Amino acid sequence: MLILAIESSCDETAVAVVKNKKEVLSSIVASQIDVHKEFGGVIPEVASRIHVENISYCVEQALTQANVTMEEIDAVAITQGPGLIGCLHVGVQAAKTLAFAYHKPLVPVHHLAGHIYANELVVDMKYPVLALVVSGGNSELVYMKNETSFEILGETQDDAIGEAYDKVARVLGLGYPGGPKIDKLAKEGNPICPLAKPKTQGKYDFSFSGLKSSVLQYVKRMERLGQTFEMADLAASFQECALDEIFDRVQKVLNDYPDIQHFVVGGGVSANSRLREKIEELKPKYPQVTFTVPPMSCCTDNAAMIGVAGTIAYMSGRRGDASLTADSGMEIQ
């Protein structure tokens, strides 16, 4: 089975061809990150315009590299949401056009489901699964009883973790994207700066807004007192605090749900080196659980993951019709 998949929910215009759920025949990603750097974040105006410029080229490249024609494709999978509405529209419109012009089924996919299913590219997921999705727009703990059921156990009550990294990096003058910069700087420092521990009501929920404010207040206080501090120490303190928040919740879920067979990670923040270390530290504590952190190429936004999700959704019978529109606040399915 051949799926053509399109993803345009944020920075990347991406198109892939995936064969039989697991084999990536091509995966084209046209990144916009250089354009965004200058603004310190994603500008939707820039983003949607560039998606328009990129999309036809990406589709053509994906088919060429996979050495297949549109006629051979079985279905077109598309990220319907969530994301930046202007960007999503570009991908949805392209997918609909292709699907109807070539009389192919259209399969709408949730972006977050794509991040989770990306793990299928490197391992066979064993259910029940606990998935941690951490990115610029997401911080969620998702429990999957089986391949097509999603239960959000915990989510951020304010900022996503990647957003907190970006905002803290901006406060510290480190530039965009903030994640890799803080991760690198943190390696040279020690977590010795006192920062406020995040507080949440829900047992498995996250909060990063207070931590971000705490970093800002620390900088202001030191300035007021005329004291100096090492930026690397502050970066390390922030990173440790933010990741402790994540792993505290992960452990709570793993303790409360002993039926979980497999722990998987998705989203761009899983590139973080300290996060990967902390997962290694978890392994001996839960010998009955398989831990998978897919390679970076699967973690950031790409269309191969949408191809995998699209294959699973196609097999389960999900279809979109002519009325399909982008849904920026889509619920996971």
- Quick check: 12 binds another protein (CB under 8 A)? no
Q: How far is the CB of 313 from another protein (least distance, A)?
A: 22
Please spell the DSSP secondary structure of 35-84, one letter per residue.
Answer: HHHTTTS--HHHHHHHHHHHHHHHHHHHHHHHT--GGG--EEEEEEESS-
Does 169 participate in binding another protein (rule CB under 8 A)? no
CB of 298 to another protein, least distance (A): 21
Among the listed residues 51, 104, 115, 167, the single contact to another protein using CB under 8 A = 167
Beta carbon nearer to another protein, 10 or 116 = 10
Q: Kindly determine how many residues on this chain lie close enough to bind another protein according to the rule CB under 8 A.
A: 34
Nearer to another protein, 146 or 201 (CB): 201
Phi and psi angles of residue 155, each rounded to the nearest 5 degrees, phi first: -150, 165
Q: Which of 44, 128, 180, 191 binds another protein (CB under 8 A)?
A: 44
Q: Which is nearer to another protein, 114 or 307 (CB)?
A: 114
Q: Closer CB to another protein, residue 103 or residue 224?
A: 224
Question: Between residues 81 and 105, which has the closer beta carbon with respect to another protein?
Answer: 81
Q: Which is nearer to another protein, 44 or 180 (CB)?
A: 44
Bond from prior residue into 295 cis (ω within 30 degrees of 0): no
Sheet holding 151-155, edge to edge: 151-155, 139-144, 129-134, 262-266, 290-292
Is the preceding omega at residue 191 within 30 degrees of 0, hence cis? no
Contacting residue, 19, 31, 35, 41, with another protein by CB under 8 A? 41
Give the nearest distance from C-beta 82 to another protein in angstroms: 6
| The residue to which tokens 């090492």 are assigned | 230
For every residue of 31-44, DSSP letters joined together read: --HHHHHTTTS--H
**3-state DSSP assignment of residue 208:** coil
Verify binding: residue 189, another protein, rule CB under 8 A: no
Considering the rule CB under 8 A, would residue 11 count as an interface residue with another protein? no
Euclidean distance between CA atoms 209 and 178, whole angstroms: 15
CA angle 204, 181, 184 (to 5 degrees): 90
As a whole number of angstroms, the distance between CA 293 and CA 140 comes to 16
The residues binding another protein (CB under 8 A) are: 10, 39-46, 82-86, 136-137, 155-160, 163, 167, 171, 205, 209, 212-214, 216-217, 328-329
